[in-house]
Amino acid sequence: MQTLNVALGDRAYPIHIGRSLLGRADLILPHLRTRRVAIVTNDTVGPLYLEALSTALAQAGVGVSAVSLPDGEAYKDWETLNRIFDMLLAERCERSTTLIALGGGVVGDMGGFAAACYQRGMPFIQVPTTLLAQVDSSVGGKTAINHPLGKNMIGAFYQPRLVLADIDTLATLPDRELSAGLAEVIKYGLIRDPEFLAWLEQNLERLVARDADALAYAIERSCRNKAEVVAADETEQGERALLNLGHTFGHAIETGLGYGEWLHGEAVAAGTMMAAELSRRLGWLGEAEVARVGALFERARLPVWGPLLGAERYLELMAHDKKVEAGRLRLVLLRELGRAVIHGDAQQTDIAAAIEARCR
Amino acid sequence: MQTLNVALGDRAYPIHIGRSLLGRADLILPHLRTRRVAIVTNDTVGPLYLEALSTALAQAGVGVSAVSLPDGEAYKDWETLNRIFDMLLAERCERSTTLIALGGGVVGDMGGFAAACYQRGMPFIQVPTTLLAQVDSSVGGKTAINHPLGKNMIGAFYQPRLVLADIDTLATLPDRELSAGLAEVIKYGLIRDPEFLAWLEQNLERLVARDADALAYAIERSCRNKAEVVAADETEQGERALLNLGHTFGHAIETGLGYGEWLHGEAVAAGTMMAAELSRRLGWLGEAEVARVGALFERARLPVWGPLLGAERYLELMAHDKKVEAGRLRLVLLRELGRAVIHGDAQQTDIAAAIEARCR
Ligand SMILES: NC(=O)c1ccc[n+]([C@@H]2O[C@H](COP(=O)([O-])OP(=O)(O)OC[C@H]3O[C@@H](n4cnc5c(N)ncnc54)[C@H](O)[C@@H]3O)[C@@H](O)[C@H]2O)c1
Ligand SMILES: NC(=O)c1ccc[n+]([C@@H]2O[C@H](COP(=O)([O-])OP(=O)(O)OC[C@H]3O[C@@H](n4cnc5c(N)ncnc54)[C@H](O)[C@@H]3O)[C@@H](O)[C@H]2O)c1
Ligand SMILES: [Zn+2]
Ligand SMILES: [Zn+2]
C-alpha cells in the first residue's frame, strides 16, 4: 500500500492506494467521527463489493446503513440524490455519521454532494472502484449532480476525509471503462509530468493488461499530480483549470452526440487531440509530437478522431462551456509535451481548423 | 446607515443597516465579481421591492435577471429551488454572476443554497426584508431547504459577500411577522447581552410601533450579537448552539402542530418560556425572572404558553431534533438572564415538568 497526502491545511487527507483494501476497516476507523457510517453504492458495484466493505466495518463495531442507486450517468440527478437523503433520514443518520461512497465517479460525485448537503455537511470517505474515479474524480473535492440544462451544474467543493483506492476492484471493470480512465492518466503526463509521460510510453500495454504493479504506479503518480494541483488551487481559480486539457472539446463531443454515446474519457482523448492540433498550429508542438500523443491514446484503445459534427457546431457547444468567463473561451493547450497552459487568445478560425483536422 | 463587519477572515463581509438602501446600487457594486446579477425573490416581496432594486442596478450598468418563487415555507423544497437553477441556466448566468436574495428567510435560505450549489458556488448577497431575516437568517451563512422528513435538512454553510438590511421594507410586514422577528431579537438579549435586554425592557413598545430609530438600533445590536457568535464558531461546533435558545422546544411545537400553524418566532417564544422554566427548576432563575421574560414576549405580542400536546409528545418530537448528538439531548438553558449555557444532563422528568408547567 502507498499513501499520499492531499495538502489542504486543516482539511488535509490521505489517499491509500493498494490491493485488498476493502477489508481494511483499520484504515477507515481513524477517520470516523462516530462509529456509524452510511454507504452509498450502485446496483452494479454493490453486489460485487458492498459486503466486503460493510462486513469489515461491522466486525469493527461500526453501525452500517447502505443505499444502492440505479447505475448510470442518467441517474446523476436530484431524484436519485434524494434517495440518499431518504435513507439518511429514515435510518436516523446524524451529522456526525460518515458517508462512504463505494463506486465510480457517478456514485462518488453524488455521495460527495449528498454528504456536503446533509445537515449542511457530514464527514465523507471515497472508495473509488473505477480507474477514472481512482485517478481523478475521487481526489480534489469536486462533487455534483446534473441539471437537465447542464452537466455537473449543481454541486459543491467538499473534501473527503480519506480516499481508499483498492486496485483489486478494477479486475471487474469493463475494458472500455478502463480505457476511459487511462485518458485521464495520460492527461497528467501531458499537462505537467514529462517523466510520467515517458513512463507511460514505455508501459502502456502493462496498464491495458491490468498488471497490478503498473496500475499501482500509474494511479499513485496520477493522484500525486492531481493532489498537487488541487492543493495549489482548491476552487479552480487558476492552475486547476489545466486539468481540463481536452475537456472543452470533449464536452462538445459528449453533448453533441448526446450524453452516454461516448464515455467521458473517450471524448477527452479525441478532445485532447484537437487541443494538440491547435497547439501545433500555434507553433508549440511539432507534427511528430502530435503523433506521439495520438499513438499513446490508440495504445490505450481510445479514439483519436472526433465525430463529424461540423466545426461550427463544436464552437457553438464550446461557447456554453462552464469555463467561459465573461464570454471569453479559455482553452487548455500544450506549450510542449508535459506542459499545459491556459490560452484565451486563440482565433475562432484556428480553433475551427484544428477541429476539422481532427474529425472523421 | 450603520455598518457592521462579520469577521470571517478572507470571507469577512459587511452588514449595512439603514433606510432607503434598496436604491443604493453603490453599496452593492463593490461586491460584484462581474456586472451581472440574478435576483431571487417571491410573489409577495417581488411586486413591492423588486423594481427599486433592479432599476437601481440596471442604471448602474448591471445586467439583471430575476425569478419570483411562490410564497411560503411549503415551497422551501427542491422543486422550487430548481426554478432558481432553471432561471440561472436559461439566462446563461456564469459562476461569476452574483445571486441576490430579496425577501424573508425562506427566500434567503433558498437563494443562499442555490448560490452555494450553482456551478459549485457563485457570489451571493442578502437583501433581507423581514425582521427575522434582518436580525437572524441573513447573517451567519446557514442556508437550506426542507426535506419531507425534516426541516432544513439539506443545505450548506455559505457566506454572503454583503447583507443589505433596508429598514423601510419592514413597513409592509404583517404584524404577526414583526412579532415573530422580535422573538429572535429578545433571544439575543437573553443569551448573551444583558445590557440589550435592559434596553428592550425599556423600548419594546417602540419596536412594536415600528419606530425607525428603535428598529435600527435593535437590528444593529442583534446582528452584532449574531455576527460575534458566528465569527467565533462558523459551523456550529460550540457557542453557536446558544442561538438555539427555545428552539428545541419550539421545533417540537412547530412539528407537533404541523408546520405553518405557528410562526417560527412564536414557537421560539413559547419554547423559550419552557427553557426558562426548566432553568428555574435547576435553581438558575427565580420566579420573578421567568415572569420578566414572559412579560417581554407578551409585550411583543408573542405566545408564552405552548399548545397542550402532552409532555410525552414533546419529548418524542425533541428526540428527533438535529441537536441530538450520539442520542443525547443538549438543551440551551439560562444560567442567568443574559447568559445561556448548553446543558446535556437535564432529567427527562424535569424537562417534562417544565413543559407541562408552560402549556395551556
Ligand atoms: N468530481 C470530479 O472531479 C470528477 C472528475 C471526473 C469525472 N467526474 C464524474 O465522474 C463520472 C464518471 O465516472 P466513472 O467513469 O467512474 O463512471 P461510472 O461511475 O458511471 O462508472 C462506470 C461504470 O462502471 C461500473 N463500475 C464501477 N466500478 C466497477 C467495478 N469495480 N467493476 C465493474 N463495474 C464497475 C459502474 O457501475 C458504471 O456502470 C461522471 O459523472 C463525471 O462527471 C467527476
Ligand atoms: N439561515 C438561518 O440562519 C435561519 C435562521 C432563522 C430562520 N431561518 C429560516 O427562515 C425562514 C423564516 O423566515 P421569515 O420569518 O423571514 O419567513 P418568510 O421568508 O416566509 O417571510 C414571512 C412572510 O412575510 C412576507 N414578506 C417578506 N418580506 C416582506 C415585506 N417587507 N413586506 C411584506 N411581506 C413580506 C413573505 O413573503 C412571507 O409571506 C424559515 O424557513 C427558517 O427556517 C433561517
Ligand atoms: Zn475528465
Ligand atoms: Zn430561530
pLDDT > 70? residue B21: yes
Closest C-alpha to B53, from B71, B40, B34 = B40
**How high is the mean pLDDT of chain A?**
95
pLDDT band for A168, please (50, 70, 90 cuts): very high
Q: What is the pLDDT of residue B322?
A: 60
Give the model confidence (pLDDT) of B243-276 as tens digits. 999 999 999 999 899 877 899 999 999 999 999 9
CA-CA distance, B211 to A197, in Å (whole number)? 71
Contact in structure between B188 and B196 (CB atoms under 8 Å)? yes
Active site residue B247: yes
- Chain B residues 145-164 with a CB less than 8 Å from chain A: 147, 149-150, 153-157
A51 shares contact with chain B (CB less than 8 Å) = no
Higher pLDDT, A323 or B314: B314
Strands A150-157 and A142-147: antiparallel
Give the model confidence (pLDDT) of A343-359 as tens digits. 998 999 999 999 999 99
pLDDT > 70? residue A323: no
Using the beta-carbon criterion (under 8 Å), do A117 and B149 form an inter-chain contact?
no
Question: Residue A87 has which C-alpha cell?
Answer: 435513507
Phi, psi of B325 (to 5 degrees): -120, 125
Q: What is the pLDDT of residue A248?
A: 95
Give the model confidence (pLDDT) of A260-302 as tens digits. 789 999 999 999 999 999 999 999 999 999 999 999 999 999 9
**How high is the mean pLDDT of chain B?**
95
Q: What share of chain B has pLDDT > 90, as a percent?
A: 89
pLDDT band for B326, please (50, 70, 90 cuts): low
pLDDT > 60? residue B240: yes
pLDDT > 80? residue B97: yes
A117 shares contact with chain B (CB less than 8 Å) = yes
Interface test with A, best of B109, B120, B230 (most A CBs within 10 A): B120
A34 shares contact with chain B (CB less than 8 Å) = yes
pLDDT > 70? residue B328: no
Using the beta-carbon criterion (under 8 Å), do B325 and A147 form an inter-chain contact?
no
Facing B153 at nearest CB: one of A78, A89, A144: A89
pLDDT > 90? residue B294: yes
Name the 3-class secondary structure at B305.
coil
Gap from CA of A103 to ligand 1 centroid (Å): 7
B316 shares contact with chain A (CB less than 8 Å) = no
- pTM, two decimals, is 0.94
Phi, psi of A66 (to 5 degrees): -150, 150
Measured by CA distance, the residue closest to atom 35 of ligand 1 is A173
Spacing of C-alpha B259 from chain mean position: 16
Per-residue pLDDT, averaged over B166-190, amounts to: 98
Using the beta-carbon criterion (under 8 Å), do A150 and B89 form an inter-chain contact?
yes
Q: Which of B36, B264, B280, B343 is catalytic?
A: B264
pLDDT > 90? residue A68: yes
Residue of chain A minimizing CA distance to B322: A94
Q: Where does residue A346 rank: exposed (0-12), middle (13-18), buried (19+ CB within 10 A)?
A: middle
Measured by CA distance, the residue closest to atom 37 of ligand 1 is A44
Using the beta-carbon criterion (under 8 Å), do B119 and A325 form an inter-chain contact?
no
CA-CA distance, A75 to B293, in Å (whole number)? 52
Does A129 contact ligand 1 (Cβ within 6 A)? yes
CA angle A109, A111, A113 (to 5 degrees): 65
Facing A117 at nearest CB: one of B90, B150, B154: B154
Closest C-alpha to B226, from B183, B264, B280, B188 = B188
Kindly list the structural domains of chain B, giving each domain's residue range(s) and its CATH number in brackets, ordered by start: 2-172 (3.40.50.1970), 176-357 (1.20.1090.10)
Residue A236 makes CB contacts below 8 A (sequence gap 6+) with: none
Is B129 annotated as belonging to a binding site? yes
Q: What is the pLDDT of residue B165?
A: 98
Measured by CA distance, the residue closest to atom 41 of ligand 2 is B106
Q: What is the pLDDT of residue B324?
A: 58
pLDDT > 60? residue B233: yes
Q: What is the pLDDT of residue B323?
A: 60
Q: What is the pLDDT of residue A10?
A: 86
pLDDT > 80? residue A122: yes
pLDDT band for A149, please (50, 70, 90 cuts): confident
pLDDT > 70? residue A94: yes
pLDDT > 90? residue B130: yes
Facing B118 at nearest CB: one of A85, A96, A153: A153
Name the 3-class secondary structure at B179.
helix
Q: What is the pLDDT of residue A254?
A: 92
Q: Which of A234, A244, A254, A343 is catalytic?
A: A244
CA-CA distance, A53 to A62, in Å (whole number)? 11
Per-residue pLDDT, averaged over B298-324, amounts to: 90
pLDDT band for A327, please (50, 70, 90 cuts): low
A328 shares contact with chain B (CB less than 8 Å) = no
Contact in structure between A159 and A197 (CB atoms under 8 Å)? no
pLDDT band for B101, please (50, 70, 90 cuts): very high
pLDDT > 80? residue A322: no
Is B109 annotated as belonging to a binding site? yes
Q: What is the pLDDT of residue A326?
A: 57
Give the model confidence (pLDDT) of A37-53 as tens digits. 999 999 999 999 999 99
Q: What is the pLDDT of residue B325?
A: 58
Name the 3-class secondary structure at B186.
helix
pLDDT > 80? residue A324: no
Gap from CA of B84 to ligand 2 centroid (Å): 18
Q: What is the pLDDT of residue A28?
A: 98
pLDDT > 80? residue A328: no
Using the beta-carbon criterion (under 8 Å), do A322 and B119 form an inter-chain contact?
yes
Neighbours of B124 (CB within 10 A): 27
Q: Which of B221, B247, B343, B358 is catalytic?
A: B247
Is B91 annotated as belonging to a binding site? no
Interface test with A, best of B11, B34, B86, B117 (most A CBs within 10 A): B117
Q: What is the pLDDT of residue B2?
A: 95
SS3 per-residue string spanning chain A: CEEEEECCHHHCEEEEEECCCCCCHHHHHHHCCCCEEEEEEECCHHHHHHHHHHHHHHHCCCEEEEEEECCCHHHCCHHHHHHHHHHHHHCCCCCCCEEEEEECHHHHHHHHHHHHHECCCCCEEEEECCHHHHHHHCCCCEEEEEECCEEEEEEEECCCCEEEEEHHHHHHCCHHHHHHHHHHHHHHHHHHCHHHHHHHHHHHHHHHCCCHHHHHHHHHHHHHHHHHHHHHCCCCCCHHHHHHCCHHHHHHHHHHHCCCCCCHHHHHHHHHHHHHHHHHHCCCCCHHHHHHHHHHHHHCCCCCCECCCCHHHHHHHHHCCCCCECCECCEEEEEECCEEEEECCCCHHHHHHHHHHCEC
Phi, psi of A333 (to 5 degrees): -125, 170
